[in-house]
Amino acid sequence: MRVSFLYYEECPSHDLALERLREVVAEEGISREVEVINVETEDQARELRFVGSPTIRVDGQDIDPPSDTRYVLTCRAYRLEDGRISPLPSKDMIRRALRSVAKSRPG
Amino acid sequence: MANLSPGDKAVPFELPGVDDRRHALADYWDKEAIAVVFTCNHCPYARAWEDRLIDIQADYAGRGVQLVAISANDAKKYPDDSFPKMKERSEEKGFNFPYLYDESQEVARAYGAERTPEIFLFDKGGTLRYHGTVDDNYDDAAAVRSHYFIDALEAVLGGRELTIMETAPVGCTIKWK
């Protein structure tokens, strides 16, 4: 399973988001390293289809598929389970995405 | 780095609001304290804190506190921060403070604002008493330990010296043209 973490340096909580992602990855028993990508330019944002920081993809699939598909250097808003807006996805959101991809894999 | 430091005087401005009126900082000098808050629609940090700002305005209005929110983001690159979208956001959230559009970004530049949200709190005499963030936890209002902005308001209203006059604003960078 390939887990990617894309971030924009100017968004303050990317380190916390990465820490959260790594915790969940470890808790789920996934041994593969998280791929970390620093998105630094607008061109790179377009090329990577980056809609905001942090973006987490599991096997290329966004853990919270965005409705907005403008590719820009910005911070990303996540709507949490309780309706709150947060700059970080919750551990449960990450966990659900990992499990969903694991379940859909053959074998 | 902000251009204003605690002890400096406010920089006057006049900007259009989502209520289609023009608002000057001078309109509010009869208040006990004015908080100029640089914010915007799209930033998740601004959005995470906006309910708390609404609550603070509601709780402190009776004690003469006025929040004035300003969005200065480049709406061409960030259409969610356009003036029509600001009107929608204000309506949707029921903002109980003016929400102004700094299209030229001159006010944000004059203040040296860098992030959204970023607070500049002035006393009745127009002196900056506190600059920085709202509190120490954008993610969870119930887990806040340091209420920097509220503590600053209480000190200003109580005529006391502030223990913390400046904190690092936490949020998205202002999107310059």
Q: Is B123 left (phi over 0), alpha (psi -120 to 50) or beta?
A: beta
Q: Which residues pair with B119 in a beta bridge?
A: B37, B132
Nearest to B39 by CA among B92, B84, B97: B97
Do the beta carbons of residue B63 and residue B37 sit within 8 Å?
A: no
pTM: 0.92
| Per-window interface: B 3-32 vs A, CB < 8 A | none
For the domain with range B14-173, which CATH number is right: 3.40.50.300, 3.40.50.720, 2.60.40.10, 3.40.30.10? 3.40.30.10
pLDDT of A31 reads 86
User: Which two tokens mark A4?
Assistant: 């990617």
HSE toward the beta carbon, residue A96, CA cutoff 13 A: 10
Q: Note the ipTM here.
A: 0.82
How far apart CA B130 and CA A24 sit, in angstroms, is 38
Contacts with B42 from chain A: Cβ below 8 Å: 74, 77
Contacts with A53 from chain B: Cβ below 8 Å: none
Contacts with A75 from chain B: Cβ below 8 Å: 43-45, 171-172
- pLDDT by residue (tens digit) across B8-22? 999 999 999 999 999
pLDDT of B55 reads 98
- pLDDT by residue (tens digit) across A16-72? 999 999 999 999 999 889 999 999 999 999 999 999 999 999 999 999 998 877 898
pLDDT of B15 reads 98
Domains by residue range for chain A, with CATH:
3-102 (3.40.30)
* B44, B170, B173 member nearest A76 (Cβ): B44
| Res. B1: pLDDT tops 80 | no
Q: Is B36 left (phi over 0), alpha (psi -120 to 50) or beta?
A: beta
Q: Which residues pair with B1 in a beta bridge?
A: none
pLDDT of A103 reads 83
Mean pLDDT to the nearest integer, B50-73 = 98
pLDDT of B11 reads 97
B172 touches chain A (CB under 8 A): yes
How far apart CA A78 and CA B86 sit, in angstroms, is 20
Sheet holding A35-38, edge to edge: A35-38, A3-7, A55-58, A61-62
CB-CB under 8 Å, B47 with A74: no
How far apart CA A89 and CA A75 sit, in angstroms, is 12
- pLDDT by residue (tens digit) across B135-162? 999 988 999 999 999 999 999 999 999 9
Do the beta carbons of residue A62 and residue A56 sit within 8 Å?
A: yes
CB-CB under 8 Å, B77 with A84: no
CB-CB under 8 Å, B47 with A72: no
Mean pLDDT, chain B, rounded, equals 96
- pLDDT by residue (tens digit) across B65-85? 999 999 999 999 899 999 999
pLDDT of B154 reads 98
B131 touches chain A (CB under 8 A): no
Mean pLDDT, chain A, rounded, equals 93
* A10, A74, A86 member nearest B139 (Cβ): A86
Mean pLDDT to the nearest integer, B12-34 = 97
Distance from CA of A105 to the nearest CA of B (A): 33
Phi, psi of B168 (to 5 degrees): -75, 125
Residue A107's pLDDT band (boundaries 50, 70, 90)? low
pLDDT of B2 reads 82
B44 touches chain A (CB under 8 A): yes
CB-CB under 8 Å, B139 with A11: no
pLDDT of A28 reads 94
* B44, B77, B139 member nearest A75 (Cβ): B44
pLDDT of B47 reads 95
- pLDDT by residue (tens digit) across B85-109? 999 999 999 999 999 999 999 999 9
